[in-house]
């Protein structure tokens, strides 16, 4: 196949992946090609089993156009979501569906000089278990915590590399596939921009509530990274005079009062002091933070007063940080995403209270707050989207 024709096809794949389905007329606008050429491309890709006709679009008064979508199994993406303790791996098809259940690996990143080697071992084993032809896998997208230099593919916080090497190239050489990395909160924001609440929003803030408090910023319709790619470190805004030392080395950061790790520590302290709760004190250990968070979340769902108080206090403090974002950036929408969003509606009232107390009403009146519909899946979806954003580049490299 001629390189130019293949390049056109990659544009079709990329646009259909993110839009899910498009008419021929809409697609020709997206790929900036003529209607006859776009029609020819679609017909060829249908004949090759890559695209299918989904039927007619809903009527808008005129003739209903035919709509086209990618065959779900035309290609796959490996999406990896890392946090400080657990790494999740998934295979995503062209409909953004999981092909197999998500697989979890215990992989601590803090003070672990072999973490990159362990990631490669786990990923290699994961790929070998799939039974999918490697040519059907477009690439590997990885979200990870830390200060990420996307251009150089380096993590200045975790996953140590040797001088002269980078994370993506090291992993790619081991698994034989293209690899892309990005900050976890940036990928959460990318997922929300492409498939979530901010898909039609020009200016939105996506707060990743996890073991820390991350931030992805959509400004003027684009993911904003800042001068060196480190924008969005909401966790380390000094909001409190609590004399608590943050892991960053500073005092009184937002993270010292709001992170999910802090919820676990506070639950343990309250239970130890005799506070009544259905939460078991032996479950409140940072040795197994996933289990501890699930125990608090389950207690919340059952109306436990301690769990309600813990989440409400954290939500109010996050609301204070949101007030700062509203004053600085005047966003249209704030999204609470990531693991913490699984707590649900408990976030709303305390956040709104904090916004009312700390925001100028004229500024805050135009900003809405939502809990993400993507939730804990957002980072995985964002990791897959990272690969597909580079899909045309991958094809050019392979030809």
Range of the domain at 37: 3-70
Q: What is the pLDDT of residue 249?
A: 86
Is the domain of 119 the same as that of 38? no
Is the domain of 181 the same as that of 320? no
- Tokens for 182, please give them: 């990005």
Judge whether 192 lies within some domain.
Answer: no
Is the domain of 364 the same as that of 272? yes
Is the domain of 366 the same as that of 297? yes
Judge whether 139 lies within some domain.
Answer: yes
Q: Strand 137-144 relative to strand 22-23: parallel, antiparallel, unpaired? A: unpaired
Tell the burial category of 39 from Cβ atoms under 10 Å away from its Cβ (0-12, 13-18, 19+).
Answer: middle
- Tokens for 20, please give them: 């899910």
| Domain final residue, candidates 70, 93, 114 | 70
Model confidence pLDDT, tens digit, residues 52-92: 999 887 766 667 789 999 999 999 999 999 999 999 999 99
> Are the C-beta atoms of residues 17 and 141 closer than 8 Å to each other?
no
Q: What is the pLDDT of residue 100?
A: 94
Judge whether 193 lies within some domain.
Answer: no
> Are the C-beta atoms of residues 89 and 126 closer than 8 Å to each other?
yes
Contacts made by residues 94-101, CB under 8 angstroms, sequence distance 24+: 94/13, 94/16, 94/17, 94/70, 95/20, 95/69, 95/70, 96/195, 96/381, 96/384, 97/72, 99/132, 100/130
> Are the C-beta atoms of residues 185 and 206 closer than 8 Å to each other?
yes
- Closest by CA to 298, choosing from 272, 277, 329, is 277
Is the domain of 235 the same as that of 343? yes
Is the domain of 291 the same as that of 359? yes
Query: On the CB side of 330, how many CA atoms lie within 13 Å of its CA?
Result: 6
Number of domains in the chain: 3
Q: What is the pLDDT of residue 59?
A: 62
Is the domain of 166 the same as that of 263? no
Judge whether 122 lies within some domain.
Answer: yes
Q: What is the CATH number of the domain that holds 49?
A: 1.10.10.10
Is the domain of 204 the same as that of 268? yes
| pTM, to two decimals | 0.93
Judge whether 363 lies within some domain.
Answer: yes
Q: What is the pLDDT of residue 60?
A: 63
Q: What is the pLDDT of residue 113?
A: 93
Residue ranges, the chain, pLDDT below 70: 1, 59-62, 395-399
Query: 122 — phi, psi (to 5°)?
Result: -65, -40
């Amino acid at each position: 196949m001629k390189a130019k024709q293949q390049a056109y096809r990659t544009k079709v794949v990329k646009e259909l992946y993110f839009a899910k389905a498009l008419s021929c007329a809409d697609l020709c606008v997206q790929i900036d090609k003529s209607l006859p050429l776009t029609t020819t491309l679609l017909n060829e890709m249908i004949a090759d089993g890559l695209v299918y006709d989904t039927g007619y679009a809903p009527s808008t008064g005129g003739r209903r156009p035919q709509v086209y979508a990618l065959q779900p199994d035309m290609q796959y993406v490996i999406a990896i979501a890392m946090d400080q303790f657990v790494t999740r791996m998934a295979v995503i098809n062209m409909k953004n569906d999981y092909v197999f259940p998500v697989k979890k690996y215990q992989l601590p990143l803090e003070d672990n000089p072999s973490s990159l080697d362990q990631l490669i071992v786990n990923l290699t084993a994961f790929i070998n278990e799939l039974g999918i032809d490697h040519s059907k896998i477009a690439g590997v997208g990885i979200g990870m915590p830390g200060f990420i230099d996307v251009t150089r593919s380096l993590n200045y916080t975790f996953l140590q590399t040797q001088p002269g090497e980078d994370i993506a190239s090291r992993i790619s050489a081991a698994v034989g596939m293209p690899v892309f990395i990005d900050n976890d909160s940036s990928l959460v924001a990318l997922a929300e921009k492409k498939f979530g609440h901010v898909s039609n929003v020009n200016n939105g803030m996506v707060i990743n509530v996890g073991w820390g408090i991350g931030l992805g910023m959509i400004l003027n319709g684009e993911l904003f990274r800042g001068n060196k790619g480190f924008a969005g470190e909401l966790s380390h805004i000094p909001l409190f005079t609590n004399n608590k030392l943050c892991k960053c080395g500073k005092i009184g950061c937002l993270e010292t009062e709001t992170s999910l790790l802090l919820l676990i520590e506070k639950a343990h302290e309250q239970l130890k002091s005799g506070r009544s709760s259905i939460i078991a004190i032996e479950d409140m250990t940072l040795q197994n933070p996933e289990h501890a968070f699930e125990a608090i979340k389950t207690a919340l769902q059952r109306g436990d007063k301690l769990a309600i108080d813990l989440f409400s206090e954290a939500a109010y403090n996050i609301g204070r940080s949101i007030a700062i974002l509203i004053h600085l950036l005047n966003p249209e929408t704030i999204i609470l995403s990531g693991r913490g969003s699984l707590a649900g509606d408990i976030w709303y009232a305390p956040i709104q209270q904090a916004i009312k107390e700390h925001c100028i009403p004229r500024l805050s009146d135009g900003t809405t707050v939502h809990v993400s519909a993507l939730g804990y899946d957002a980072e995985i979806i964002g990791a897959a989207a990272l690969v597909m954003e580079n899909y045309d580049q991958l094809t050019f490299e392979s030809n």
